[in-house]
Amino acid sequence: MRPRQPTLFSPESVRNFNFPFPSTRYQGSKRVLADWIWENVCDMKFDTVLDVFGGTGVVSYMFKNASKQVTYNDHLRFNWFIGRALIENHDVQLTDSDMELILQSHEVIYPDIIKTTFGSIYYTDEENAWLDRAIFNINHFLADPYKQALAFFSLCQ
């Protein structure tokens, strides 16, 4: 049976493996090569896939959609969240109330790691504070590890 997918990518989007996987600026992403890779292996008989350098997860996700049993690997922690959110996860989704938990300001003292460490480098102070808050909220107000992973994946987009 085909595994259920998070609705991040709609069912119609995965037909013929021509799915609109989010575009990223991740160096070395095989997003534009996914169709080519599939065309060159689809006639082979295999059930399992080891994606050793998983990165954006696009290759793993393509094979998962083809009902292969996929093992995703990457040594970077933010990519590990991608693997958990898109590959290991089959049916957990973020709800509107989860999004509210992530986006609202709670009665806590938020860390200011990004704001103080990266001030005036990448984003504005306001945006850095927003990131500090969202990350804290994901870690402290979302109990489900798959929801946490989905939230971090979304944040990275």
Name the residues that contact ligand SAM, by CB under 6 A: 26, 28-30, 53-56, 58-59, 73-76, 79
Distance CA 56, CA 30 (A): 8
User: What minimum distance in Å lies between the beta carbon of 150 and ligand SAM?
Assistant: 18
Query: Whole-angstrom Cα distance, residue 87 to residue 97?
Result: 24
Cβ proximity to ligand SAM, 30 vs 68, nearer residue? 30
Q: Which amino acid is at 29?
A: S
* Closest separation in Å from C-beta 75 to ligand SAM: 4
Residue among 59 and 142 whose Cβ is closer to ligand SAM: 59
Cβ at position 50, least distance to ligand SAM in Å: 12
Token code pair at residue 16: 């013929």
Closest CB to ligand SAM among residues 5, 55: 55
Short-list 148, 145, 147, 153, CA closest to 60: 153
